[in-house]
């Protein structure tokens, strides 16, 4: 039996009924295109979230001052400034912690030449940029000696730099922050939105000491708004959390049974939730798309069954002149598989172009991997074999005498 | 396969019976016998006509002879081989190599050229396409259809279609040609031409031809006449 010859017989049969072949193929095209599109959207979302999390910095805790209450009223988290710079420094010495960054913040008006801009000012230490995984566009960050001397130096976020300087290089220039001159030492690389959708690039950073003494002022000297803490390793995040809590309770002299006056939040755990959500989303999208592939497969089975019935006499003739069951089975299976594979290839093309269009129009990140393409293709072939086998088997097991007599 | 052509006939049938089982409305199985105790021996090079009224079992006999159907009882040896012991694949191989079929309704594949129709059995014999087309063209030349090799069946007359079908039956050089009312759909002039072609094949190439017909003038071409009635052979004689 010559497989190539049977292949061309199958191709000939498909050509004889172009419209039907095309319509059956359409089921496959839509199915595969949908799967590719949905997988690429899902994968895009996951990649985006992974990037955002990487930009946020790894193994992060945020420690915020705790709630206070008075006369039965709770004032909410941060209503009392119980955390200090020294708390941050002592946490940095813990074995399970690699760095901490105390943060104060406020809103300020900036001037450079004739332009002015209002933005968020963050007073912090150099570790902030390490903990937050910030990268420099140009210049450097401020140093520990700047902290000690409360120097008037500033690092600009990407958006702020662009709004204030346009195409000009800000490094070495002097801007005015609430009318005090500050030397720009560096510009940060853009990070985009945070997981919560906040713009992370419209801001400026100055030494925490400078901020406290000269810009925002502070009714409780040494207190901070919050601090970022970076754990040494992802495995020891639980230990780090316990150590931070114990240390702060000790430093704040909180007796047994009393509530914490601060809150330690694991940002990595929040990131994990986002990652899981994206994963579930891509699974759900893929599953929905697979249904259309399944429907396409059932369509193929349906048409192949009709085709076998219609061509009963042809099958009888082929058997009479010497086709064995395997030859008949192979031909009908090849017909189903060709529909699937050609439909699969077209669907792949449409899916990929669709994904490209979406990425352009909706400005979404779309990721197409070779594995995805392979999966869709494999799936299409599997559908062909699975749904093509029964009709082909039916054709092959016809009795020659009955098939020949069929009108 | 070792066989002695002179000793062993091409077709040997002993006590052959065929019945069909049906289910009636109450689910009982009804056995409907079609052939009873048929004994037959056909030697190489014979030209046999099988006649009989409709329902006499002649088509059933043809289907069994052609290995399209299997007997319920008795034995059938084709060229010394016991057909009842063969698998479906082996039967397909026998149909491909040893038997050429010619049908009343021509049974050509539509939307396929005459050439491809003739070459079709070689596809299942595993012969290369180029070679099989060459052989198909030779046969179309022999049956006088070389000009029509690229025509599709619906572009040909009935007589031409039957010639294509005969070419197809001949392509594997089978020892046996089975023709089931080959002139049934043809006018008398064309019928005569087709029968002359069969006669030529029998006389010049020594092909064994078994023909089913219900027309006396068609049966007259054969050298031996077998008449079936109600599933039994009632006449088996030389036809002169």
Number of folded domains that form chain B: 1
The rounded distance, in Å, linking the Cα atoms of A14 and A18 is 6
The pairing of strands A180-188 and A153-156 is: parallel
Classify the C-alpha dihedral B209-B215-B221-B222 as positive or negative: positive
Q: Is B163 part of a structural domain of the chain?
A: yes
Residues of A in contact with B172 (CB under 8 A): 322
At B76, is the secondary structure helix, strand, or coil? strand
CA-nearest residue to A331 within chain B is B124
Task: List CB contacts of A218: < 8 A, sequence separation 6 or more.
Answer: A104, A212
- Cα–Cα distance, B50 to B52 (Å, whole number): 7
Give the pLDDT of residue B1. Answer: 43
Interface contact flag, A2 B120, Cβ < 8 Å? no
The verdict on residue B66 lying in a domain is yes
Contacts of A2 in chain B (CB under 8 A): 123, 126-129
CB–CB of B89 and A404 under 8 A? no
Interface residues on A facing B, Cβ-Cβ cutoff 8 A: 1-2, 5-6, 9, 12, 16, 313-314, 316-327, 399-401, 404
Give yes or no for residue A45 having a pLDDT over 80: yes
pLDDT of A371: 86
What number of C-beta contacts closer than 8 Å exist between A and B? 70
Shortest Cα distance from B240 to chain A (angstroms)?
Answer: 32
The verdict on a CB contact (< 8 Å) between B120 and A321 is yes
Q: How far is CA B82 from the centre of its chain?
A: 18
Better-scored residue on pLDDT, A331 or A286: A331
Q: How far apart are CA A351 and CA A292, in angstroms?
A: 13
B70 touches chain A (CB under 8 A): no
> How many residues are present in chain A?
407
User: A322 vs B129: CB contact, 8 Å cut-off?
Assistant: no
Contact assessment for residue A43 and residue A278, using Cβ atoms and an 8 Å cutoff = no
Phi, psi of A228 (to 5 degrees): -95, 135
Residue B81 belongs to a domain: no
Q: Best mutation site among B88, B165, B170 for testing chain A: the one with the most A CBs within 10 Å? A: B88
More confident residue, A252 or B91: B91
What was the pLDDT predicted at A74?
A: 59
Please give the model's pTM, rounded to 2 decimal places. 0.75
* B123–A399 C-beta distance less than 8 A: no
Radius of gyration of chain A (CA): 33
Nearest to B125 by CA among B101, B94, B96, B99: B96
Range B20-26, long-range pairs (CB < 8 A, 24+ positions): none
In a domain, residue B218? The reply is: yes
pLDDT at A397 over 90: yes
Q: What confidence tens digit (pLDDT) does each residue in A169-208 have?
A: 999 999 999 888 999 999 999 887 776 777 888 999 999 9
Q: Are A365 and A359 in contact (CB under 8 A)?
A: yes
> What is the pLDDT, as a whole number, of residue A59?
84
**CB–CB of A317 and B112 under 8 A?**
no
For A4-29, what is the mean pLDDT? Answer: 89
Name the band, by pLDDT with cuts 50, 70 and 90, for residue A302: very high
Distances (CA, A) of B237 to B46, B47, B226: 12, 12, 7
User: Which of chain A's residues have a Cβ under 8 Å away from the Cβ of B111?
Assistant: 16
What number is the ipTM of this complex? 0.92
Look at residue B179 and tell me if it is in a domain.
yes
Can you tell me the distance from the alpha carbon of A143 to that of A165, in angstroms, rounded to the nearest whole number? 24
Query: Chain A contact for B89, CB < 8 A?
Result: yes
Tens digit of pLDDT per residue, chain B (240 long)? Answer: 444 555 689 999 999 999 988 887 888 888 888 999 999 999 999 999 999 988 899 989 999 999 999 999 999 999 989 998 899 999 999 999 999 999 998 999 988 999 999 999 999 998 888 899 999 999 999 888 989 999 999 999 999 999 999 999 999 999 999 999 999 889 999 999 999 999 999 999 999 999 999 899 999 999 999 999 999 999 999 986
Parse chain A into domains and list their residue ranges. Answer: 3-52+273-405, 81-260
In this complex, do B124 and A9 lie within 8 Å of one another by their Cβ atoms? no
DSSP state of A255: P
Q: How far is A302 from chain B (nearest CA, A)?
A: 23
Domain membership of residue B20 (yes or no) is no
In the stretch 180-239 of chain B, residues with CB closer than 8 A to chain A read none
Q: Indicate the angle between helix axes A267-310 and A18-56, nearest 10 degrees.
A: 170
Q: What residues in A contact B121, CB-CB < 8 Å?
A: 321-322
Residues of A in contact with B124 (CB under 8 A): 1, 318, 321-324, 327
Residues of A in contact with B68 (CB under 8 A): 319-320, 400-401, 404
Residues 6+ apart with CB under 8 A from A50: A275
Q: Is some CB atom of chain A closer than 8 A to the CB atom of B95? A: yes
CA distances for A371 relative to A40, A43, A374, B76, B217, angstroms: 11, 12, 5, 58, 72
Q: Which domain holds residue B140?
A: 45-72+87-238
The nearest CA of chain A is from the CA of B5 a distance in Å of 24
Residue A218 has pLDDT above 80, yes or no: no
Category of B190 on φ-ψ map: left (φ > 0), alpha (ψ -120 to 50) or beta = alpha
Nearest CA in chain A to B93: A322
Q: Which residues of B touch A12 (CB under 8 A)?
A: 112
Residue B58 at interface with chain A, using a CB cutoff of 8 Å: no
- Looking up residue B233, the CATH number of its domain turns out to be 3.40.50.300
A-chain residues near B107 (CB < 8 A): 313, 316-317, 320, 404
């Amino acid at each position: 039996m010559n497989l190539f010859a049977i292949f061309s017989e199958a191709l000939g049969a498909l050509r004889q009924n172009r419209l039907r072949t095309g319509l059956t193929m359409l089921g496959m095209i839509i199915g595969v295109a949908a799967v590719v599109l949905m997988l690429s959207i899902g994968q895009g979302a996951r990649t985006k979230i992974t990037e955002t999390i990487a930009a946020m910095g790894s193994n992060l805790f945020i420690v915020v001052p705790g709630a206070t209450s008075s006369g039965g009223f709770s004032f909410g988290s941060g209503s009392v400034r119980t955390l200090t710079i020294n708390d941050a420094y002592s946490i940095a010495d813990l074995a399970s912690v690699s760095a901490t960054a105390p943060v104060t913040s406020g809103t300020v008006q900036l001037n450079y030449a004739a332009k002015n801009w209002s933005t968020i000012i963050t007073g912090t230490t150099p570790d902030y940029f390490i903990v937050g995984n910030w990268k420099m566009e140009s210049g450097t960050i401020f140093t520990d000696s700047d902290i000690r001397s409360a120097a008037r130096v500033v690092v600009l976020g990407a958006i702020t730099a662009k709004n204030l300087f346009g195409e000009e290089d800000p490094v070495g220039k002097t801007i005015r922050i609430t009318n005090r001159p500050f030397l720009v030492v560096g510009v940060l690389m853009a990070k985009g939105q945070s997981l919560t959708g906040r713009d992370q690039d419209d801001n400026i950073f100055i030494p925490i000491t400078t901020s406290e003494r000269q810009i925002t002022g502070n009714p409780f000297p040494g207190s901070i708004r919050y601090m970022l803490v970076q754990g040494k390793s992802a495995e020891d995040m639980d230990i780090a959390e316990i150590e931070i809590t114990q240390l702060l309770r000790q430093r704040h002299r909180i007796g047994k049974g009393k509530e914490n006056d601060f809150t330690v939040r694991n940002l990595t755990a929040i990131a994990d939730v986002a990652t899981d959500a994206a994963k579930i989303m891509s699974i759900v999208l893929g599953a929905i798309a697979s249904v259309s592939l399944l429907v396409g497969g059932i369509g193929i089975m349906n048409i192949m069954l009709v085709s076998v019935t219609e061509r009963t006499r042809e099958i009888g003739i082929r058997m009479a002149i010497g086709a064995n069951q395997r030859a008949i089975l192979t031909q009908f299976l090849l017909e189903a598989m060709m529909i699937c594979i050609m439909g699969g290839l077209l669907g792949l093309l449409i899916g990929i172009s669709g994904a490209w269009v979406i990425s352009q129009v909706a400005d979404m990140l779309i990721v197409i991997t070779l594995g995805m393409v392979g999966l869709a293709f494999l799936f299409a072939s599997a559908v062909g074999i699975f749904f093509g086998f029964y009709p082909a088997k039916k054709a092959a097991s016809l009795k020659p005498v009955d098939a020949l007599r069929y009108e | 396969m070792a066989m002695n052509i002179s000793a062993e006939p091409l077709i040997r049938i002993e006590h052959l019976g065929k019945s069909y089982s049906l289910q009636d409305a109450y689910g009982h199985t009804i056995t409907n016998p079609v052939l009873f105790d048929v004994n037959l021996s056909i030697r190489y090079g014979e030209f046999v006509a099988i006649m009989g009224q409709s329902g006499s079992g002649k088509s059933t006999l043809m289907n069994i002879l052609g290995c399209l159907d299997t007997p319920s009882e008795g034995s059938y040896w084709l060229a010394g081989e016991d057909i009842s012991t063969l698998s479906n694949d082996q039967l397909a191989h026998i149909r491909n190599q040893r038997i050429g079929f010619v049908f009343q309704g021509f049974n050509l594949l539509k939307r396929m050229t005459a050439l491809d129709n003739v070459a079709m059995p070689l596809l299942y014999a595993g012969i290369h396409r180029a070679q099989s087309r060459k052989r198909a063209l030779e046969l179309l030349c022999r049956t006088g259809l070389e000009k029509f090799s690229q025509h599709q069946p619906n572009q040909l007359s009935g007589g031409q279609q039957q010639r294509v079908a005969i070419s197809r039956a001949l392509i594997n050089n089978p020892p046996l040609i089975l023709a089931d009312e080959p002139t049934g759909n043809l006018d008398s002039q064309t019928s005569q031409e087709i029968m002359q072609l069969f006669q030529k094949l029998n006389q010049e190439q020594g092909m064994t031809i078994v023909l089913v017909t219900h027309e006396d003038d068609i049966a007259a071409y054969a050298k031996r006449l077998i008449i079936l009635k109600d599933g039994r052979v009632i006449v088996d004689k030389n036809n002169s």
